[in-house]
Structure 1
Amino acid sequence: MPSTIIRVPENLTAFTVFPFCKLLQNQRPTEELVFDFSKTKTVEPFGMLVVASEIKQCVAAHPEAKFTCKNYERMPYAAHMGFFKAFGLDFGREPGEAFGSRNYIPLTYFNSSELIREAARRGLDVGDVIEFHSKRLSQTLSGTDDGDLFETLSYSIREIMRNVVEHAHVDEFGVCAQYWPTKGRAEVAIVDRGIGLRESIKANPHIDASTDKSAINYALMPAVSGKAFKGARRLEKRGPWTNSGFGLYLTSRICRNGGNFFISSGDAGMLLTSGKDSKRYINTSFTGTAVRLNIRTENIDSLRGVLAKYRADGFEIQQKYREIVQIDPSSASLMLSQDFDLSLWDKLLKNLKMR
């Protein structure tokens, strides 16, 4: 079998990496896998996390093949961020090694089981431990431990990390981020190779999660969860960390205030922006779930004020759809009052009453 040269894309961004993922997934047996970075110019947090994960998966799937790379020495930023060592190439820093400098979070990996054990050891809920880490990451990224940017980043990172730990059924997941003050933009990426949204949400019998596209749509609606729904066995856990299905919805609404929110799971991806044509679907190929938050920092208002302002909406939804969802009012009070498609809820309610 001859060696195979795999040319890495020119841009490692949210909308260029998935054809490359598909290429790696279709790779046939070979004597040698050679990844050529000669054309690669632009690398962003989301692209680095996804591609590093996919290359690692490809190499593991072909143990018979020798693994090498070329033309990577010209990429000091990616090397500093831990990109190359994340998939096994001995070049640059280890993931997390460059931690401590303002405005970026290098590729950093967390272990869900370790977070849970840490919480048990300290007599805390795992949500408290995730809150601690999200604040630490936000402080590194924003360069401060207070203010609207710090609070927004902390909240958004916390909610996506919670979603992974509670629903993905996976140990390791990665975080990477960059803040560009002169551009007024921050990008946060969180990627896991878990069971994916469709598998996670199909436990809710009231929704149609037969496709990845459908599962993403429902997962981004407020109060939809594969654990908290009408008829589900009530969990013993109570308090602010009770699962309520609001994390993805709230975070996506924060990002859409001038920025955008992208999520991929399985063969479907969804990009949410503000204004006309605010929803766009993208064909993807990714086992697990990959989330990118693109936040316009100049559009950030006080998070405390925004979340408190819509407390009444949470109670209204709880009452209207109490036959479908089972949410905790203290969690519902965090919901942002933005437009979303209530026709899906009405359809669910109608179908439930016909049974």
Structure 2
Amino acid sequence: MTYAGHMGFFQAFGLDFGKAPGEANGSRRYLPLKLFRCEQLIQSAVRKGVEVGNELEGESQHMAEMLCGSDSGAVFETLSYSVREMMRNVVEHSKATQFGICAQFWPSMNRVEVAILDRGIGLRKSLENNPHIDASNDKRAINYALMPAVSGKAFKGARRRQRGPWANSGFGLYMTSRICRNGGTFFVASGDTGMLLTKKSEAKRYFDCIFGGTAIRMVVRTDQLADLKDALEVYRNEGYLIQNRYKEIVSIDPSSASLMLSQDFDLSVWDRILAKLKGTR
């Protein structure tokens, strides 16, 4: 288990074997386990006079550049976006004190794998304030969390509405999961449920688990990203289509940051939700 020990896995949970999280330097092929404290990230943004999203953008770009050895291109942009949105989700919604992240890049296999974990309140607790959805169990909460424009902070009738490019829009996890499903996989676990998504919409698998918080593993096929940048304008328009078409469910403006690398979505799912809500009135 020397590789896991080098990555900081064992010392992360208190076993004195291998390196501590953040001790290994990493390289252009892997990022060892690194722990981030949410309050430190927030305070760093305050000192710089920027939004916490900008602070996380800098961290995610640094990690993406280390992994792919470049600060531009489809792989860099996809990694920096996906990592940033997962980090944002932790800092803005989980109420966790810290989170861990690690990653590896296999160029010969055209594959990148990233994992992020927090021990916060979990997805179900995070979404319980949204009166427009039924997130009464972990399975439902995971499914809602991966749908566009669903958030526990930004919803129709919410008292406080954040504005600007870093607004809470409920798009980050959805976009990231769709990017991964373009040839890769996306796994999320929270509470008593884990869910694995692959490219085929019907290939959704559930697993029993016991986890206080949220854990995500994304696997990206780097050879499937060449045309992603060309489609950004189309994806942005699709994001605003949700906001305009389903105002009875969501009344929020998708943040420009979260729409940077959007993917296709199934409007029929939203049609069914809207019909159900109308039937209960």
Alignment partner of 1:327 is 2:269:
no
Aligned residues: 280
- The 2-side partners of 1:278 and 1:172 are apart by 32
Partner of 2:112: 186
Alignment partner of 1:238 is 2:167:
no
- The 2-side partners of 1:344 and 1:312 are apart by 17
- Tell me by how many angstroms 1:269 deviates: 1.0
Show structure 1 runs of 5+ residues with no match.
1-74
Q: Deviations over 1:236-255 (max 9, x none)?
A: x4211011000010000000
Quickly say closer, same or farther: Cα 1:244–1:330, change in 2 above 3 A.
Answer: closer
Please show how residues 1-355 of structure 1 align to structure 2 within 5 Å: 75-235=1-161, 237-275=162-200, 277-331=202-256, 333-334=259-260, 336-340=262-266, 342-348=268-274, 350-352=276-278, 354-355=280-281
Quickly say closer, same or farther: Cα 1:340–1:278, change in 2 above 3 A.
Answer: farther
- The 2-side partners of 1:233 and 1:349 are apart by 25
Q: Deviations over 1:96-149 (max 9, x none)?
A: 111241111111000111100101111110000000000111111112211111
Alpha carbons 1:107, 1:175 under 8 Å: kept: yes
Alpha carbons 1:168, 1:200 under 8 Å: kept: yes
- The structure that has the greater radius of gyration is 1
- Tell me by how many angstroms 1:337 deviates: 4.2
Which range moved further: 321-330 or 135-144? 321-330
- The 1-side partners of 2:35 and 2:266 are apart by 33
- The 2-side partners of 1:116 and 1:233 are apart by 23
- Tell me by how many angstroms 1:186 deviates: 0.9
TM value normalised by structure 2: 0.93
TM value normalised by structure 1: 0.75
Q: What is the aligned-residue RMSD (CA, Å)?
A: 1.8
Quickly say closer, same or farther: Cα 1:345–1:160, change in 2 above 3 A.
Answer: farther
Alpha carbons 1:176, 1:189 under 8 Å: kept: yes
Q: Deviations over 1:74-115 (max 9, x none)?
A: x22112111222122333222111124111111100011110
Partner of 2:15, secondary structure, is coil
Q: Deviations over 1:53-73 (max 9, x none)?
A: xxxxxxxxxxxxxxxxxxxxx
Q: Sequence identity of aligned pairs in percent?
A: 58
Show structure 2 runs of 5+ residues with no match.
none
